[in-house]
Amino acid sequence: MKKILIALVCMVGLTAMAQREKGHHGRDGMKGLTAEQIATLHTKKMTLALDLTPDQQTKMKAINLDEAKQRKTKLEERKAQREEGERKKPTSEERYAMQNAKLDKMIARKAQMKEILSTDQFEKWQKMNHKKGKRHSKEGRERRKARK
């Protein structure tokens, strides 16, 4: 369960990964795309990986569109903060609130996926996210080491 939550946290954290300039695996190609385009591409990738039915594709596209819009707005907020020089470290209470909100979103997404996908598809989806989480956490550690 703990590993699944870590993998889902990493998925939510993809917004930060889109900021990286060089050497990123495929996210740079989505830099100039709209939220709708990103949602469509993500849904098609999921269709290929999980063999989604047309009904499942429609539901997944709606979920992916909502997430893409949220990521875009957060990205714009961070850009604005960076340009204004307001970037400051959050307090422990703010970090707790952010982490709590992130975990709530992950729990809600998992529940949505459980409703939409069959049991086999859901298990495959969990394995896919677990692998992504491991890769992203390793990349994050390497990046933090490079900064020091």
- Please list, in sequence order, all residues whose beta carbon lies within 8 angstroms of the beta carbon of residue 63, skipping any fewer than 6 positions away: 109, 112, 116
What angle separates helix 54-84 from helix 92-116, to the nearest 10 degrees? 160
What's the whole-model pTM score?
A: 0.65
* Per-residue pLDDT at 84: 81
Query: What is the mean pLDDT of each successive set of 10 residues along the chain, which is 148 residues long?
Result: 69 58 53 89 93 93 93 88 78 92 93 92 88 64 65
* Per-residue pLDDT at 23: 45
- Under 8 Å between Cβ of 68 and 39: yes
DSSP state of 13: T
